[in-house]
């Protein structure tokens, strides 16, 4: 026996293993279905049926019903923490059955997003960049024998296509034709520095704790001359009408303020945020989130 | 070296891989435990201890406490979307500690159901068919050193047995003796056509959206002469007493009706359902579900 | 070809497989984050990025915000049901940003616990024993490029370190230096027999059903001369003040009492507990749990 044969076997072994790994990327599912019924489990059954080796995860299924903005936000909050090649399926679909397209976007970061084209990709498209968008061809990418069901695209088209892409059963090219125009995007107030003050959107609440998160990045805080331990003014408005106005410390952590007192800080996305130490800011002051809610800060 | 040796190695490699795969089927767990405490995690720990290669999934753990009908419904809603060989464990067990049997049912579709024999299998038995039912022999199929615990059969018997069956540690025959008689079934009003009207049960709510789902299949709608875009009359009764009466379009999708207006449609199981476009029908009209709730539709 | 070569290949094959398996232990995550936002998914993305072969599970993410006692309780309720080598990550961290240490404890049972050193390990340290505690060295054990984020240690330090330990990327020694002193422990009333009565803490509620669980073990019930089917007196106090007093059967199961009636029993941890058959004891009598709540039982 020649040593070359031994090497050949080892090569084969690693080649097969490697192929299996490279074709089995994570599938991460998000929806507004909740987990009280069987909808999520049916989607996972379909995905598992595509390949028992798939790694299937939940992003969240508690997106408020029909809230596309929050779906967009949650994708943007998490996608970058998953490896290149991860396939995200997001199903918040108030227009199910209408003429909205079903698409898969590949980001510059190498992530895939399977979703109705309704604004869900507004934020990840900006943050991660877009290399290519394809419309799902439902003639080839739809669970067999599901044609008569008009209302569960999440299971029959999105989970099925996402699973086949993640498992390497189809390539990205086989999803369907390239879309030439732009994807649907939701309008919102972008963060901006105006002299020594900064303006932005309350884009989401940290719901478990009632903290108020904005889309203002650390760099704009620095640009406006605001430093840790400075006292700052914060205004929060709904549709231009003042809802909260107050003065608080810009701390490195919640413990920069006394228990029950307001504190401004950088959240885990390094964006400007407001909290009460050990209590709910959103609940005490009646703050909500979305494109309607703006925030202004100044020294 | 002879080529036959090379082939032998490849054969061995695939044989071992294949064996591992064929013996590791999905384990899908359902309960009324919720996910706020450690009960579900303890069950998964036991299952993982049986085989670290098991693929463990949740159906839902939010079945309303002791609601056997809803447990039956959720199994029926999802089982068919999982591959043959999948093992379902369902623990909604108001009679724990009483004389109810612990069973495993194999359906004609090749799925396994591990559950107390209390009516949980009413619907999957009808939908998927039954090939064999065995009573769990707790002398051989019970977690070691768990004999003194009288109250957590979910972990010590059901999850443990389901995991061993899914992992191929035991065969179906090794579960215990065949049960000769019938399994326990819950009585309910089956769907039926009466001339141009159709009668059935409101068997579940689509809880996240407040949609009302019936057990009336598409075929009976067609038989009664109802077509897409027809206007139809819908009555919903509780224990025979009228709770809702209205006229609405039978649409292909929710968007067949204006926002806030009622629409009849076929849900993801292709059953007749009623919704408000973008709002909760169940909440606005006080509709619930279960064997008590019947629905009548006519042109 | 010599047979020795064949054996070498088989050896290599099993060595590689075995290594992969032995280095991929379960990672079980607990927090007070809830699952409505992307925090848990970001942690899982980081863990999956460490090794796609990791088996990642949830203990629960519904620990009440900042409730260290309940975090301690849930770990204690479940850890023993997971195999040796399982890595638990628990993030209930009211002191984030303060000087509390980040630690990994190895129990005598061979489990690992990654957590802020704030009392979370009070109960597992007692139940499973402690062999060694190490402080996480954040210079080596912190997600790359996460230094500017001051507030999400759960993702950048705890999930990352737990995943690397579970995947075998680092050994326990590589976590950081051994801590010589004791870990932080929460004070509470331990169970004790006083003649024919037994005293203890209501350490948790079985939240889904409203059952009241104590820390009194079966052995003390026996020591006090209480047998199944005995009628017993139960008192529950908050901060020493009587909240409930009643007489009930000590049953093997809930069905020892009529529907709606109180029953004492041994829960799945074999601890003394109180319930209403088919109803919520905690809700009817206003009982909560924690170090403040004590229980006394006697014949």
User: What residues contact C216, with CB distance under 8 A and at least 6 apart?
Assistant: C191, C198, C199, C200, C271, C272, C295, C297
CB nearest to C265's CB, from B2, B13, B151: B151
Chain C residue closest to B99 (CA)?
A: C255
pLDDT, residue A97, reads 67
Maximum distance among all alpha carbons in chain C? 84
**Would you state the structure tokens that stand for residue B35, as one six-digit string?**
């996910």
Above 90 in pLDDT, residue C54? yes
**Would you state the structure tokens that stand for residue C114, as one six-digit string?**
């990654």
Interchain pair C37, A74: CB under 8 A: yes
CB nearest to A6's CB, from C5, C33, C94: C5
CB–CB contacts below 8 A, A to C: 109
CA dihedral A294, A295, A296, A297 (to 10 degrees): -170
First to last CA, chain A: 79
CB–CB contacts below 8 A, B to C: 112
Interchain pair A150, B265: CB under 8 A: yes
- Give the gap in angstroms from C-alpha B180 to the nearest C-alpha of chain A: 31
Interchain pair A267, C155: CB under 8 A: no
pLDDT, residue C170, reads 97
CA distances from A8 to A3, A220, B164 (A): 9, 56, 37
Interchain pair B35, C60: CB under 8 A: yes
What is the band of C10 on the pLDDT scale with cuts at 50, 70, 90? low
B149 contacts in chain C (CB < 8 Å): 266, 268, 270
Size (chain B), residues: 299
* Interval A20-64: pLDDT, tens: 444 679 999 999 999 999 999 999 999 999 999 999 999 999 999
Interchain pair C97, A253: CB under 8 A: yes
Q: What pTM, to 2 d.p., does this model score?
A: 0.86
Do residues A204 and A70 lie in contact, with contact meaning Cβ atoms separated by under 8 Å? yes
Closest by CA position to B94, among listed B74, B120, B131, B127: B120
- Separation of alpha carbons C178 and C181, rounded Å: 9
Closest by CA position to B24, among listed B86, B79, B82, B67: B86
Determine how many CB atoms are found less than 10 A away from the CB of residue C257.
19
What's the sign of the alpha-carbon dihedral C140, A128, C56, C21? negative
Interface residue ranges in chain B relative to chain A, Cβ cutoff 8 Å: 1, 6, 9-10, 13, 21, 24-26, 28, 55, 57-62, 74, 77-78, 81-83, 86, 204, 206-209, 218, 252-256, 265-268, 270, 278
What is the band of C160 on the pLDDT scale with cuts at 50, 70, 90? very high
Question: Which of A21, A81, A167, A211 is the mutation pick for testing C, counting most C CBs within 10 A?
Answer: A81
> Strand runs (DSSP E) across chain A, as ranges?
26-31, 55-58, 87-91, 102-107, 112-116, 130-135, 192-194, 197-206, 211-217, 231-238, 241-250, 262-266, 271-276, 293-298
Interchain pair A82, C48: CB under 8 A: yes
- What DSSP string describes C249-268? EE-SSGGGS-TT-EEEEE-T
* Interval C78-131: pLDDT, tens: 999 999 999 999 999 987 767 889 999 999 999 999 999 999 999 999 999 999
What is the band of A19 on the pLDDT scale with cuts at 50, 70, 90? very low
CB nearest to C36's CB, from A25, A57, A207: A207
Helices (H), chain C: 3-22, 39-50, 68-78, 122-128, 153, 160-166, 218-223, 281-285
Do residues C150 and C34 lie in contact, with contact meaning Cβ atoms separated by under 8 Å? no
Write A170-175 long-range contacts (CB < 8 A, 24+). Answer: A170/A140, A170/A141, A172/A104, A172/A106, A172/A112, A172/A132, A172/A134, A173/A134, A174/A140, A174/A141, A175/A104, A175/A134, A175/A135, A175/A136, A175/A137, A175/A141
Interchain pair C148, A218: CB under 8 A: yes
* Interval B135-169: pLDDT, tens: 999 999 999 877 555 558 899 999 999 999 999 99
CA dihedral B246, B251, B255, B256 (to 10 degrees): -70
Helices (H), C23-139: 39-50, 68-78, 122-128
pLDDT, residue B96, reads 73
User: What residues contact C166, with CB distance under 8 A and at least 6 apart?
Assistant: C24, C25, C26, C27, C51, C54, C86, C87, C112
Q: How many CA atoms lie within 13 A of B52 on its CB side?
A: 19
- Give the gap in angstroms from C-alpha B50 to the nearest C-alpha of chain C: 9
Determine how many CB atoms are found less than 10 A away from the CB of residue C149.
17
């Amino acid at each position: 026996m020649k040593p070359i044969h031994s090497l050949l076997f080892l090569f084969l072994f690693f080649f097969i293993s490697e192929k299996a790994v490279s074709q089995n990327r994570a599938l991460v599912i998000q929806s507004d279905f909740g987990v009280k019924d069987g909808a999520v489990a049916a989607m996972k059954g379909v995905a598992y049926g595509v390949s028992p080796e798939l790694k299937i995860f939940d992003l969240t299924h508690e997106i408020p019903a029909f809230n596309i903005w929050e779906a967009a936000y949650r994708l943007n909050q998490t996608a970058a923490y998953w490896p290149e090649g991860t396939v995200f399926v997001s199903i918040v679909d108030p227009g199910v059955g209408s003429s909205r397209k079903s698409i898969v976007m590949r980001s510059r970061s190498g992530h895939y997003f399977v979703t109705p084209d309704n604004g869900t990709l507004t934020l990840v498209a900006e943050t991660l960049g877009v290399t290519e968008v394809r419309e799902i061809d439902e003639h080839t990418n739809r669970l067999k024998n599901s044609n008569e069901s008009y209302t569960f695209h999440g299971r029959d088209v999105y989970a099925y296509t996402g699973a086949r892409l993640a498992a390497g059963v189809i390539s990205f090219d086989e999803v369907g034709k390239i879309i030439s125009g732009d994807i649907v995007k939701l309008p919102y107030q972008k963060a901006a520095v105006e002299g020594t003050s900064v303006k932005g959107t309350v884009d989401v609440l940290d719901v478990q704790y009632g903290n108020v998160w904005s889309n203002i990045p650390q760099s704009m805080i620095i640009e406006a001359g605001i430093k840790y331990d400075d006292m700052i003014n914060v205004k929060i408005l709904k549709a231009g009408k003042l809802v909260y106005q107050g003065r608080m410390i810009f701390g490195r952590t919640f413990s920069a303020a006394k228990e029950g007192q307001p504190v401004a800080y950088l959240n885990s996305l390094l964006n400007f945020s407001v909290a009460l130490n050990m209590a709910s800011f959103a609940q005490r002051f009646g703050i909500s989130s979305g494109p309607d809610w703006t925030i202004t800060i100044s020294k």
